[in-house]
Amino acid sequence: MDTCSYCGSPFPKTRRTRKYCTNRCRTNACLEKRPRLKAGEVEALHALLDVEFTTVEALRERLRAILAPHLPAIPVVEGRVSIPRMD
């Protein structure tokens, strides 16, 4: 017996190299590793190639807004990206 690397359910191990209990788990694990861009995101990225940006930070912020809108904005202090200290 072995445990599926995707869903964690036990399954009979028939081959030494088997990691997933079913083909569906293998496919889902592959899709999670390589997230796909939606058509709207790809169009926004193509439109971004034609735009002139004054700073790299503005370009980074626009890319973040397209690819990861759920993440907070990149903090910019005095024209530079601010990385918070952990101490």
24 & 52 share domain: no
CB burial string 36-47: b at 16+ within 10 A, e below = eeeeeeeebeee
Q: What is the pLDDT of residue 48?
A: 85
pTM over 0.75: no
23 & 44 share domain: no
Q: How many domains does the chain have?
A: 2
> Domain containing 53: what range?
39-81
CA–CA separation, 38 and 73 (whole Å): 21
- Would 86 be classed as within a structural domain? no
Q: What CA–CA distances, in Å, run from 84 to 76, 77, 81?
A: 11, 11, 10
26 & 59 share domain: no
- Would 26 be classed as within a structural domain? yes
Q: What is the pLDDT of residues 27-44, one digit of tens each?
A: 888 887 767 778 888 888
CA–CA separation, 6 and 62 (whole Å): 33
- Would 87 be classed as within a structural domain? no
77 & 43 share domain: yes
Share of the chain above pLDDT 70, in %: 91
